[in-house]
Structure formats: structure tokens, C-alpha cells
Amino acid sequence: MKVKIELFGATRDFSDQNILELSLNNDSTIKDARIEIIKYLKKNFDGNKDFVRIVNTSAFSSENNNIVSDNYKIKNNEKIAIIPPIGGG
């Protein structure tokens, strides 16, 4: 299935498009998406350690704007947001 990962904050540096498009197996979870993003970083950014650390410390939000756990099952064509460590104000 196809999944779009909307990029925010430091993860915007992962792509010029502000979005990553992943192909995942049906019934994949956030945990699977996280692994797939890290594979993408290994391929495109030589496994940049800072980028990988950011992914490992990020939360994710479902398309209906709920912060979800690693066990959340992603729907086909769902747009998920990656929420890297925050700090506004």
C-alpha cells in the first residue's frame, strides 16, 4: 500500500517535496513506517546519524490529527505526519 509522510521541522530536510511517499505492506504500522523511513535515509543520506536519531525520537500523527503509537495500523493512502522533537514559543 501507499503511504504519504508529511514532513515538519527538521525532517523537512529529508526531501525538497516536504513529503515522503512510501510503499508498505498491507496492515503496516507506524513501527514499519519508521523502519522504512530509516531505510530511505540510509539510501539517500548515507544513514545520516542525526536524521536517524530524529526519526527514532519522533511521534506520528494520523490523518485525522491524533498522535498515534507505534502499533497504529496505517490505512492505504493515509497521510501521516511525522512530529520531530518540538520547541516553539
CA end-to-end span of the chain = 38
Q: How far does Cα 48 stand from its chain's mean position? A: 15
Which of 23, 57 has the CB closer to another protein? 57
Q: Does 8 bind another protein (CB under 8 A)?
A: yes
Rounded Cα distance, 55 and 89, in Å: 23
Q: Does 72 bind another protein (CB under 8 A)?
A: yes
Which of 22, 54 has the CB closer to another protein? 54
The alpha carbon dihedral of 26, 69, 86, 38 has a sign of negative
Q: Does 32 bind another protein (CB under 8 A)?
A: no
Interface with another protein (CB under 8 A):
8-10, 12-13, 57-59, 61, 65-69, 71-72, 81, 83-89
